[in-house]
Amino acid sequence: MTHISDTTLQQGLANRRQVLGDAWVEQSLRGANRLNVEFQRLITTYAWDSIWSRPGLDRRTRRIMVLATTAAMGRWEEFELHVRTGLMADAADPQAAALDVDTLQEVLLQTAVYAGVPAGNTGMAIALKVLRELGQEPAPASFFASQP
């Protein structure tokens, strides 16, 4: 077992809870076992404390970067997690890194240009699936209208 300070672990857990929500984090922690517990500690301290605690970018920007990166890499399970938890996050809490439909649209348009149309297409399908599951399906829009 690697030595990890309690402060680093607790700060990482706090960040993880703020961004992903208590339910997701509790599910992950309940799934800890002898094989994956060190991995759980690693991502909690390295990603969620060492990176998500850095002052250089706000949480919303970090989440947007996660969406673009995971879409570009085809890491759809992580992409879906951040779409879902971003849409469910409290928009009044900047630490929660909330998302809205307009932001998702922009991320996916940018992703389609820089990572390829298939990545944008799959990302769009996943985002729509999650929006529907959350009861937030976007309103219909005319294909021929210049503005949505």
> pLDDT for 28-37, tens place per residue?
999 999 999 9
Tell me the pTM.
0.89
User: Distance between CA 70 and CA 56 in Å, rounded?
Assistant: 20
The answer to whether residue 1 scores a pLDDT higher than 60 is no
According to the model, what pLDDT value does residue 6 have? 87
The answer, yes or no, to whether residue 76 has pLDDT greater than 80, is yes
Domain assignments of the chain as residue spans, ordered by start = 1-54, 58-135
* Chain segment 12-33, per-residue pLDDT in tens: 999 999 999 999 999 999 999 9
Q: What is the identity of the amino acid at 87? A: L
Separation between Cα atoms, residue 6 and residue 29, nearest integer Å:
16
Query: Radius of gyration of the chain from Cα atoms?
Result: 17
Compute the C-alpha angle 88/90/93, nearest 5°. Answer: 145
| 85-135 pLDDT, tens digit each | 999 999 999 999 999 999 999 999 999 999 999 999 999 999 999 999 999
